[in-house]
Amino acid sequence: MYKNIYRYDEMKRKEHMAVRENVGWYLWTHQLVEVQGADATECLDLLFTKPICSIKIGKERYTTMLNEKAEIIDDVVVFRLEENHYWVSTLFATDLIRWMEAHKENRAVEYSNITSQYHMYAVQGPKALNMVNSIVDTPVDDLKFFSFANNSIDEMPVMINRAGFTGEKCGYEIYVSAEKADEMEKILKAAGEKLGAEEVTEFQVMAWTLPTEAGFYYMRDLRHTNPLEVGLDKGIDWEKKFIGCEALNKIKEEGPSREMVGFTVEEADIYIQSRHYGGPGEAVYVNGEEVGRVYKLVYGYVKDTNIGYIMANKDALKVGDHIMIHGYEAVITEKNFL
């Protein structure tokens, strides 16, 4: 019998729960595309669904990037460093640059992949502020969510960003020069030991279990979906022109045909295929008719149960519904499992 790869794994549980109950830190370097130029704002406003021009310097915004059919091709965080100077944090820099190249036209905008210049360390959890303050030269108590500021650690210049991919209210990201990564890790390890912090080392915890518990998406979940289906329409500037806006407006008028819902499965050792590994995901049937596919299936350590997402036909599944997926009883839920 297949044994659940999460439930009985004390290492994964310990790393996960450190973030929920204390503090965890880990390498969380994303790809960075630097965008500059007189028309940088205009160009980014065309590419992204949410307004870029209204981001204040020192602030950032999470947004989606669509193709002409309104399918999400990337979800990114845009940092405004200066008036016409941005960083775009992505996991698909090659696609992003290709898309920028295709749509910049004659705009005065330059972009480059600066990923290799920086590493980023996440410090997440209720005691994250204590841990970060114990190593930075200037305390970060006043740093608001989705804001960043320059700072230093042991005379190393760093940028501290208050954000995270865990759903924790208290979470920071430390950007440091790539060649200082070894030194940074030693400092974090030493600081963490004093607070009983855990280094999160398991990819599945940082990319799947922590974010899914908070209802976040990892890029595979979003491919070939649109923001209205996955609930990422909040904050879209419907008045501005962005690539995919016509198609998205049409979908908005007609109503999306699908929606992402959450689900839990109580039984521990289950066999259900999930799309987040690649592949089609397990088909979900209601009254013999396929109504959706399992897009994500991981484990929620907080509620100690299997959790996941289903992309379902609109209104086919309601919160509280009990359904069978490949022979296992599942309950439809909201997408937040905290």
Partner 1 sequence: MSSKIDSRVPKDSGAKSLDCFAAIQSPWNKLVGYQESMHWLSRYNSTFSAACMQALRILEPEYAERAQDMCTAVYQKLYYTMQKFGKYQMDQHNIHPFCRGSFVGALVGDSGDDALMMCGRVQDFGTYRAEKELDICDWDIVGSELCRATTQSLEGGSKSWSENLRPGTQLEYHMVEARGCGDCHCRIVAESRDKYPMPPHAQWECFGPIATADQIKDTKPEDMVEESMVFRGETGYTFANGTNMEDDSNSVANLMRRSSAAAGYIFPTLSYLLRMQKVDEKTVDHVFHCVCEAAGKAAFGERVAIQAVRDWMGVPNTINDGRVMGGYLEMYFQAMGLEYTIEAFNKDEVQYVVDRNNLTVYNEKMADAFVAYWYGMTKTLVNAQWFLWEIKEDTPADKLRIRIAKKIDKFC
Strand pairing of 60-66 and 31-36?
Answer: unpaired
Contact string (CB under 8 A) for partner 1, positions 151-190, x = contact: ------------------------------x---------
Residue 309 as a binder of partner 1 (CB under 8 A): the answer is no
Q: Which of 103, 137, 238, 277 binds partner 1 (CB under 8 A)?
A: 277
Mutual angle of helices 40-47 and 93-103, in 10-degree steps? 110
Contact string (CB under 8 A) for partner 1, positions 12-41, x = contact: --------------xxxxxx----------
Paired residues of 73 in beta bridges? none
**Helix and strand totals (H; E) in the chain:** 9, 17
- Find, among 1, 88, 7, 77, the residue nearest to 40 by Cα: 88
- The C-alpha atoms of residue 167 and residue 169 are separated, in whole angstroms, by 6
Q: What number of chain residues touch partner 1 (CB under 8 A)?
A: 36
Let me know the angle formed at the C-alpha of 227 by 215 and 35, rounded to the nearest 5 degrees.
95
Task: Give least dist CB 282 to partner 1, A.
Answer: 9
b (16+ CB within 10 A) / e for 57-84: ebebbbbbbbeeebbbbbbbbbbbbeeb
In this chain, which stretch among 43-51, 124-132, 190-198, 216-224 interacts with partner 1, using CB under 8 A? 216-224
In this chain, which stretch among 62-70, 99-107, 169-177, 269-277 interacts with partner 1, using CB under 8 A? 269-277
Structure tokens at 139: 């305390």
Task: Give least dist CB 14 to partner 1, A.
Answer: 12
Residue 147 as a binder of partner 1 (CB under 8 A): the answer is no
Task: Give least dist CB 200 to partner 1, A.
Answer: 10
Residues that bind partner 1 (CB under 8 A): 2-3, 5, 11, 26-31, 91-92, 94, 115, 119-120, 181, 201-204, 206-207, 219-220, 223-224, 271, 273, 275-280, 283
